[in-house]
Chain A
Amino acid sequence: MASIELRHVSKRYAPTVYGVRDVSLRIEDGEFIIFLGPSGCGKSTTLRMIAGLESVSDGEILIGGQAVNAIPPRDRNVAVVFQSYALYPHMSVAQNMAFGLKMRGTDPGLIRSKVDQAATLLGLTPYLDRKPAALSGGQRQRVALGRAIVRDPAAFLLDEPLSNLDAQLRGEMRLELVKLHRRLGRTIVHVTHDQVEAMTMGDRICIMRGGAMIQVGRPLEVYANPAETFVARFLATPPMNLMPAVLRGAGGDDLVVETGEGLALAVPSPYRSAYAAYRDKPVILGLRPEDFYEAPHASDWQPVPFTVVAVEALGAELVLVGQVGATGGVAPQKIAPPQEIAVRLSRHVVAEPGQMLTLSLDPNPMHLFDVETTRLIPRPAPGVPARRVA
């Protein structure tokens, strides 16, 4: 078991071309951390640098407190599971799983018992004599995991191991990996671009973009307080609705966020002092689709006229895409052309394209972002978390 520490780690391909830029992170012993980001954000490169498969241009990587920059992959005691599985095609399942131990000169009897144990754990016993070509995608994925498990490494590095599986199998394997982590207690670094994996599997998420680390934190913390508009949009499906807006005074300390669509949202009183510096300045308003409801559940919730453009009935819930209309009292002011937003409602709501609805918006989870930096404008945490009531 081992902690992994990255100290100002960079990967440069040319003097000014960075794959990874100044990443510092400490992954605790036994922690399950997710590297999340879009393609080309540097998450796989970071993982390969931890494994020793890519050299580190700047900075230092420590595994178990020991600097490993100059240590070859075979001596780092980490196991990598690749997106492509990378099973040796000329070897049987048993030989694939035994390869790492054989390379380390382990006693053949011990190899056999460890392979048998891992095969039992992963349900691979009937396939031990088969070649990878004769296995399904899910079975190959299990063999790749088995090959990592038999070595009993200090840390598992998983490079998008579920992305080649179909949706159902991916769901099952997600659960399997979480169980495996609980059973083995090893450090796991899991690279993915799938938000569901990020939200459900890890102890912490590390979100990356353009080679840089944007935000690290517990999944629900990051979800509740995205550091930037990028995180706000990337971490959920449908993503957070972001609308250009202006923060205006409404008498005394009161503030109102006005959007181009005519939405005028009174800022909850606990946030007023935090947002005071942005009075009369443009901001970006962020509202999660699930902060809209079909009926109000608190007195400070605000009615929002909503014209349905498209309906996505997902069975368990209903996602409506549409445009926001004017709310009562405040005159609409054009800031930007009206944009479509997504709202997530109960599956019992009946809606059709073209229909006009009046939704209720819980303003407490609202976020405001700085227009220039796109970073979150800090505010106190919402007092009472919103509860969905069907």
Chain B
Amino acid sequence: MSTAFGSTRSNIGLHVGLMAMCLVIVLPPLWVLRTSLVPEPQAYSTSVMPGFTLDNYIALLTRNKFGVFYLNSVVVALGSVVVALPFAAMTGYAFARFRTGGRFARFLVLATQMLPPVALVLPTFAIFRATGLTNSVPGLILAYAAINLPFLTWILMGFFEGVPIDLEWAAMTDGATAWGAFWRIVVPVSLPGLAAAGVLGFILSWNEFLFALVLTGPSTQTIPVALASLQSSNGVQIAKVSAGVVLAVLPLVIASRFIQRFIVQGLTFGSVK
């Protein structure tokens, strides 16, 4: 009995500790959610819920054109993934299976990721201005695709290295070309990896601020730029900013749910033992 009692006591202690840790992590986002639902004048109040309103969201979506910026962000993030993913898949597969460029080429691909973004944004701006791509959604899609490409290539390279080469060999002796083995066997088998890479690329593009700030204009802003613009010289409209943050985080919460599912899902099970 004493053992059972002791274990119950230690369980309670463990759970209290875990709850305290959870509060440390969850409290800030919860406070942001609470602030987004409180009228602006009471936003800094210390009481938990001094009032309730949806005005902050309505104002954001109507007066501040957040709907447009939201759409821009969705189009840019999705577009950049759609453009980058096929190239990343082919490059990652080439690195994983062939001696393409050796190790040097693998690291060369990552070179752009090693530079601070600010070192890249100005040359990019110069190129975009010369080609008329500034202040345009397709321009930003291209820029983000270029930023995502090395990152997605590396993720997919790791994934393809985990696909048993026997599958491709089987396809090639069955009559497929190397491309056919990639397209008909490797791509379907790697769908969870491709989906995970796609979601990660989406998150990367969705959160990007610097390139969006420099390359977009008033009508092509994305959510991070629009959020920043809520901080005016007259001060920060904290309730509106909070509502904007909640809106901005929403797709990421959904995306992270997907990424978990895809990464955990092992489609290759059963193909080889």
Contact = CB atoms under 8 A, between A and B. Distances in A.
Interface of A: 48, 51-53, 72-74, 76, 78-80, 82-90, 99-100, 103-104, 131-135, 137, 140, 147, 151, 164
Contacts of B176: 74, 103
B264 interface: no
Nearest to A153: B173
A142 to B, nearest CB: 14
B227 to A, nearest CB: 41
B172 interface: yes
B110 interface: no
Interface in B165-185: 166-167, 169-177, 180, 185
A147 B171 CA distance: 11
A89 B177 contact: no
Interface stretch (B70-78, B122-130, B252-260, B265-273): B265-273
B175 A89 contact: no
Contacts of B171: 88, 99, 103
B175 to A, nearest CB: 3
Given A74-B177, A104-B175, A84 B169 contact: no
A85 B175 contact: no
7 contacts: A79-B174, A80-B173, A88-B170, A103-B171, A103-B176, A104-B175, A132-B271
B170 A89 contact: no
Contacts of A78: 173
Contact of A73 (B173, B270, B273): B173
A217 to B, nearest CB: 29
A140 B172 contact: no
Contacts, number: 94
Contacts of B167: 86, 88
Contacts of A82: 166, 169-170, 272
A51 B271 contact: no
B172 A74 contact: yes
B270 A89 contact: yes
Given A85-B272, A85-B273, A103-B180, A90 B174 contact: no
B164 A86 contact: yes
B173 to A, nearest CB: 5
Interface residues of B, number: 24
B99 to A, nearest CB: 12
A100 B270 contact: no
Contacts of B174: 74, 79, 99-100, 103, 147, 151
A133 B269 contact: yes
Given A86-B272, A103-B176, 7 more contacts: A48-B169, A72-B172, A84-B271, A85-B271, A89-B268, A90-B267, A103-B171
Contact of B273 (A51, A74, A131, A140): A140
Contact of A79 (B164, B173, B180, B267): B173
Contacts of A52: 172-173
In this complex, the member of B170, B191, B267, B269 whose beta carbon has the largest number of chain A beta carbons within 10 angstroms is B170
A76 B175 CA distance: 9
Given A53-B169, A80-B169, A86 B175 contact: no
B189 interface: yes
Contacts of A140: 270, 273
Nearest to A91: B188
A53 B272 contact: no
Nearest to A105: B175
In this complex, the member of B164, B169, B174 whose beta carbon has the largest number of chain A beta carbons within 10 angstroms is B174
Nearest to A134: B270
Contacts of B166: 82-84, 86
A53 B164 CA distance: 14
A134 B188 CA distance: 18
Contacts of B273: 84-85, 137, 140, 164
A86 B172 contact: no
Interface in B224-251: none
A74 B272 contact: no
B172 A87 contact: no
A74 B173 contact: yes
B270 A133 contact: yes
In this complex, the member of B173, B177, B180, B270 whose beta carbon has the largest number of chain A beta carbons within 10 angstroms is B173
Nearest to A157: B173
In this complex, the member of A48, A74, A83 whose beta carbon has the largest number of chain B beta carbons within 10 angstroms is A74
A137 B267 CA distance: 17
Contact of B271 (A53, A79, A87, A137): A87
Nearest to B164: A84
A99 B171 CA distance: 8
A90 B188 contact: yes
A204 B167 CA distance: 29
B184 to A, nearest CB: 8
A73 B172 contact: yes
Contacts of A72: 172, 177
B109 to A, nearest CB: 26
A151 B175 CA distance: 10
Contacts of B172: 52-53, 72-74
A79 B269 CA distance: 23
A73 B178 CA distance: 10
A72 B268 CA distance: 26
A80 B273 CA distance: 16
Contacts of A84: 164, 166, 271-273
Given A73-B173, A79-B173, A80-B173, A131 B164 contact: no
A317 to B, nearest CB: 33
Which 3 pairs from chain A and chain B are nearest by CB?
A133-B270, A103-B175, A84-B272
A73 B188 CA distance: 22
Nearest to A132: B270
A368 B107 CA distance: 58
Contacts of B175: 74, 99-100, 103-104, 151
